[in-house]
Amino acid sequence: MKIPLWSRLRLAPRIALVVVGSLLAVELVDEAMPLVIRPQPIAFFQRDWLVDTVRDIRDRSIAVPKAERPALLESLPARRWLDVTQLNARPDFPDTMHAGAFGELSLQIAAALGLTPEDVMLMASELDDPGRSVRSLVIVLPELPAVMMVDDIDDQRSNMLSSDLRVGFRIGHEEWLVVAPKSDGKETARMIRNVVLPLSAVLVIALFSIWVARGVIRPLDDLAAAAEKLGRNRELSLVGEFDAPELRAISESFNAMQRRLKQFVDERLQMIAAISHDLRTPLTRLRLFAEYVPNRDQRRQLLSDLSDMETMVSGTLTFASNQLEEETPSAFDLGSLLISLCDTAADAGCGVVYDGPDHAGLTCRPVAMRRAFANLIDNGCKYANTVQVALRDSLEAIIVTIADDGPGIPAAQREDAFRPFKRLEASRNRETGGTGLGLTIARDVILAHRGHIWLDDAPTGGLLVTVTLPKAV
């Protein structure tokens, strides 16, 4: 829902308006509730009248047989204002009052009935907020004045305010009467009201808070997703315009940064690709000339150097192009791929062992995935005698580990191993070959599939490469 002028407001005024709106909504609910559920009645009892009425009820009750007592209690004149209940046991009041004004009232009723204080029970519940009372409010006054102020009612020394006043007294060996203000039958509704009011306040504040929070968090989520996508791919991931001026400025700056970064990277990759492409012609010409070198050893050395240069050019072109990333994802059997790569490496003389299922389904870019794992297995074969490839298939991801018994890579240099054209002195030299792009290309492919790759120490003392790939791209 579009609110006029809302998109022009900054975040601080928005939050202030939401706080004020929440308070107003809570106040409106509080004011509207009495229109739905009628407030509790308020009964004013003059103290002497209440004592005389209780005595009259008791006198009438004991003057008739027990069987006729229910009918008598229904016909009492005081039933207009009071409810009278007959019990066959002592009332189980949760609290009794024997101090202050209510205590004096209890003693006065006992004296008027000619009973001991233990035979009269008086319960009066006090609330901090009488407006939230479930039962009728009762105000007992020493006398009914012509004019009464609220301060006079609150004077507990003489006036008594209770949300649940009950008087119980003995009329027989195991017979008691309980006198209470007449009920209007709305106690359950008021109890629901007392629960609904705080819940509605919490709900209103929560809804307004979630609405504002979503307006702030959604753009941040979009920025985080765009940044993650930009880090994995080389294509722009522009974010849309947001409502708040601050967030709009952030999105515009972020999009401008993406464009500058892409232009910067594309220019340099195009330069590298152009140089690598142009080198192919002179390399082909040099290979032809090398075939005619009379000395066999010199010819073999020249052809080996030219092969290394062609490998470097091919790897550079692959790294600089988007060919692998532009491939369409499809269903692929990663288990079969690893078995095939291990068999090929074993035929070439490498001690490769595969451990895992024969089949492991994965949605990926097949050509890119083959290139990535071929680079990882070839790296292990170059620098170690034995390579152990293991695959573990779970419900959400596939985990592949490649461990070798070679010299490994020191922990301080493992991040540098993923840098393009980086050759680590401890484990790589001219005799092993390589362009310094194998791990770089492998990591780009893994990251493009929302996977993770990291290096660690292998149990055999060499290098352990762990790759985690989610089941869906």
At residue 430 the predicted structure's pLDDT band, cuts being 50, 70 and 90, is: very low
Res 205 pLDDT > 90 = no
Output the pLDDT for position 368.
Answer: 84
Hey, what amino acid is at 284? T
Q: What is the mean pLDDT of the chain?
A: 79
At residue 47 the predicted structure's pLDDT band, cuts being 50, 70 and 90, is: confident
Output the pLDDT for position 431.
Answer: 47
Average pLDDT over residues 321-340: 77
At residue 95 the predicted structure's pLDDT band, cuts being 50, 70 and 90, is: low
Output the pLDDT for position 129.
Answer: 63
Kindly list the strands in the beta sheet with 166-170, ordered across the sheet, starting from the edge strand earlier in the chain: 82-87, 176-181, 166-170, 120-123
Pair 350, 338: CB distance under 8 Å: no
> Which of 195-204, 306-315, 372-381 comes out lowest in average pLDDT?
306-315
Output the pLDDT for position 338.
Answer: 92
Average pLDDT over residues 9-25: 78
The dihedral built from the CA positions of residue 411, 415, 421 and 422, taken in this order, carries a sign that is: negative
Output the pLDDT for position 151.
Answer: 54
pTM exceeds 0.75:
no
Give 29 or 394, the one with higher predicted confidence: 394
Res 228 pLDDT > 60 = yes
Output the pLDDT for position 295.
Answer: 84
- Inter-axis angle of helices 296-320 and 245-290, to 10 degrees? 160
Pair 409, 417: CB distance under 8 Å: yes
Res 402 pLDDT > 90 = yes
What are the chain's domains?
6-37+192-222 (no CATH), 42-185 (3.30.450), 233-322 (1.10.287.130), 325-470 (3.30.565.10)
